Amino acid sequence: MTDTATPTRYANGLARRAQIVEAARELFISDGFRAVSLRDIAARSGLSHPGLLRHFASKDEILAEIVAALEAPNEAEIETVADDAVPLEDIVQVARRNQTTPGYLELFMTLAGEATVAGHPTHAAFRDRYRRLLALSAERIEAGRDAGRLPGVTDPRGESIRLAAAWDGLQLLSLYTGGAIDPATHLARHAAQLRGDRLPAVDAVATAPPLPPVPVDAEAAGYRPGRENRRTIVAAATALFARGGFHATSLREIGEQAGVPKSTLLHHFSSKDDLLIAVLEARDAEVSSVPLDDGSDPLERVGLIIAEARRSAREFPGLIEFYVVLSCEAATPSHPAHEYFRHRYELVRAHFVGLFRQLAAAGHLAPGRDPEHEGVWLVALWDGLQIQWLYDPDAVDVAAELSAYFEQVLA
């Protein structure tokens, strides 16, 4: 009797886990990972909260299982590419499958952002995944270069880093543009450039209006103690949002971190949403020294981009972590920072497209390079490099990889 009951209980347990995972997947896609609680998942699964905890100890554990199942066929395909395959075509095919798999982009980028925090339970697993796939990619790219099939490659290891980074960044951009940015199309174009193929043009990108400036009273107005309290609150919120995400952080925790009572916090910020926007504006004001189109020499602006990346890694590592975690979390349209990031991506993309157009007009762009594609690629590459850097800062140098990219793209 025991022998019969044990397999039955085991099968029932597996079925219940699958039921929980599917309920969580639906909720994470519709409402966003941080906005969903374990109790929400239990209710959707038809379980009690204690009943769910017998199978999963946390939301992170459920999300990791979902993403692992989504990633398994991708890794299998990448690892079994035939020697006579078109170089890098497997990556394009995987990207296309990801884009048509319901929820893949949302869930993968959520976990990729969440797990950049060193204390996250899947941080080491994600770091090892990047190391494994980068090593495999570098080996394949080097073989393709040596066989004369990738003449556009000079540094296989660096190319593998930049390719993986741009892929992550393109997936994130796709979520903020309603699919208008197509990762597979841009990956295919980049692969064709490395192969030396003839390339079609890319549709133009409209110039976006600038982001609104930081309100005057955000920093300058008011008495000095009030300004100091405001800065302290913003700094505390930045640290906590980076560590636990926006939804999981309470105003009470922010007040305790800042050392101010909740009444003082609410005097400066009427809601957590207002505080979030102040944090984002403060982050932009702190780290960005790259001018937009101010009529200066486009080559000088390229140098400023590289210098900005180097300065950010040296002086503002916490803000990079905050930006990565929140930009991935806010990809859900219902998130209060979604519109901010969507608008910001429009602005930066239009700026970089304009920069490459100016470089082309001045004769600085290499033959076959398209300003529309390169503007999108640079946005994606920079964001993706920051993700990789948070996982493996000793192996990834954001400024150096951006510099190597510009060496490829400039005449």
Residue 218 pLDDT exceeds 90: no
Q: Is residue 265 part of a domain?
A: no
Q: Is residue 245 part of a domain?
A: no
Looking at residue 359, its pLDDT comes to 94
Give 102: exposed, middle or buried? Use CB within 10 Å, 0-12, 13-18, 19+. Answer: exposed
Q: Is residue 271 part of a domain?
A: no
| Residue 290 DSSP one-character state | -
Are both 32 and 167 inside the same structural domain? Answer: no
Query: What are 83-93's pLDDT values in tens digits?
Result: 667 888 989 99
Are both 372 and 409 inside the same structural domain? Answer: yes
- pTM for the model stands at 0.84
Are both 51 and 70 inside the same structural domain? Answer: no
Q: Find where tokens 């702190």 sit.
A: 286
Are both 65 and 108 inside the same structural domain? Answer: yes
Total structural domains within the chain? 2
Q: Is residue 315 part of a domain?
A: yes
Interval 17-27 mean pLDDT:
93
Interval 297-301 mean pLDDT:
91
Query: What are 337-394's pLDDT values in tens digits?
Result: 899 899 999 989 999 999 999 999 999 999 889 999 999 999 999 999 999 999 999 9
Q: Is residue 2 part of a domain?
A: yes
CB burial of 323-338 (b: ≥16 within 10 Å; e: otherwise) equals: bbbbbbbbbbeebebb
CA distances from 21 to 12, 18, 52, 55, 61 (A): 14, 5, 10, 10, 10
- Rg from Cα positions in the chain: 23
Q: Domain range for residue 24? A: 1-57
Looking at residue 215, its pLDDT comes to 43
Are both 161 and 204 inside the same structural domain? Answer: yes
Residue 42, both tokens: 């239990």
Residue 213 pLDDT exceeds 80: no
Q: Is residue 242 part of a domain?
A: no
pLDDT interval class at 289 (50, 70, 90): low
